[in-house]
Amino acid sequence: MHRSKRAVIVGSTLLILTAVAGLASGWFVPTQTAVTQLAPGVFFRKTATEPAFIGCNQGWVIFKDFVLVIDANFPNQAEEVIQLIRKTTDKPIRYVFDTHYHGDHADGNQKFSAIGATPVASEDSRSQFDTKGLAGFEKSKKTNPAVYGGLEYQKPVLYFPRKLVIDDGTQRVELLHFGHAHTPGDAVAWLPKQGLLFTGDACVNGAFNYTGDGNTASWIRVLSEMQKLPVKRVCPGHGEMGDADVIAKQKRYFVELREAVQRLIDKGRTLDAIKRQIEIPSFLEWTGVDVKTRAENIEFVYSELTGGGKPK
């Protein structure tokens, strides 16, 4: 998870302007990171998950006088995205929005606060930053000094309960917390004018989605809330961009995982048997991966359905 292979995005020789159907333009460094302008002043950075996991996807929105960044990423990737942002604007980065507390989304906060930005997150994520987030960061400082050495943990300093709107007349971004999904404090960034939704890990596109901090019943409800928005494009926390169908696929995974595990529980199967026997064809079709390989998610849902699945 914390292995990092720095994306090399230095100099113009690696910047290849590529026309993408339906999109304005993209700069691509194959297999590592790709930046696409989705609308005037709105950018999506896709990072690689294969062969090396380098971090989360990110976004940024250029307002009249400042920039909002969506997800801090790991510290080294925070440095990378700041360089990328500087290729698009000289305006100060004022806010970095952490969709949730996980290190691959928030451990780079200090890199942004050092240049004057304020880390923002939902109020329901505060306790995770204070506990697991801090503990994970301290652990990474020991195990990955090349990326974390010398840094101090920077928690968000601006929290919002359900919704925070940033609107200067040119851009409007709504930060929305719908409830417990991938973590208790997940929030998304919704750009209503452009129909763009940056979901963090509340919705990923095919990449492994960790359930250990989740609540799959609530997560399905959160995804249903997202589906009420007139979404044109989903920028997921990991994986490729897509249309609103990505939300439907993420939801279907949890609906069908819960149904399939429950069916096998009802037949009296043990957890080990369930892990061997479970089939979810739609998941294979979506991700190219057999659902059996996501064993920890099967264990988590089994635990939830048999009464032991309280979020850690």
Residues engaged in binding Zn ion (CB under 5 A): 102, 201
DSSP letter (8 states) at residue 303: H
Judged by beta carbon, residue 94 or residue 102, the one nearer Zn ion is 102
Closest distance of CB 99 from Zn ion, Å? 8
Judged by beta carbon, residue 107 or residue 201, the one nearer Zn ion is 201
**H-helix or E-strand containing 10?**
none
Judged by beta carbon, residue 62 or residue 203, the one nearer Zn ion is 203
Q: Any residues with CB less than 8 A from the CB of 26 and at least 6 apart, and which?
A: 17, 18, 20, 34, 35, 36, 37
The Cα–Cα gap between 274 and 186 comes to 29
Closest distance of CB 197 from Zn ion, Å? 17
3-class DSSP state of 14: helix
Judged by beta carbon, residue 80 or residue 201, the one nearer Zn ion is 201
Closest distance of CB 196 from Zn ion, Å? 20
Closest distance of CB 287 from Zn ion, Å? 17
**H-helix or E-strand containing 21?**
none
Closest distance of CB 97 from Zn ion, Å? 14
Residue whose C-alpha is closest to residue 1's, from 97, 104, 138, 72: 104
Any long-range contacts for 113-117 (C-beta under 8 Å, 24+ apart)?
Answer: 113/154, 115/82, 116/92, 117/69, 117/92, 117/93
Closest distance of CB 193 from Zn ion, Å? 27
Judged by beta carbon, residue 46 or residue 94, the one nearer Zn ion is 46
Q: Any residues with CB less than 8 A from the CB of 75 and at least 6 apart, and which?
A: 107, 108, 110, 111, 147, 148, 151
Residue whose C-alpha is closest to residue 237's, from 184, 201, 186: 201
Judged by beta carbon, residue 7 or residue 56, the one nearer Zn ion is 56
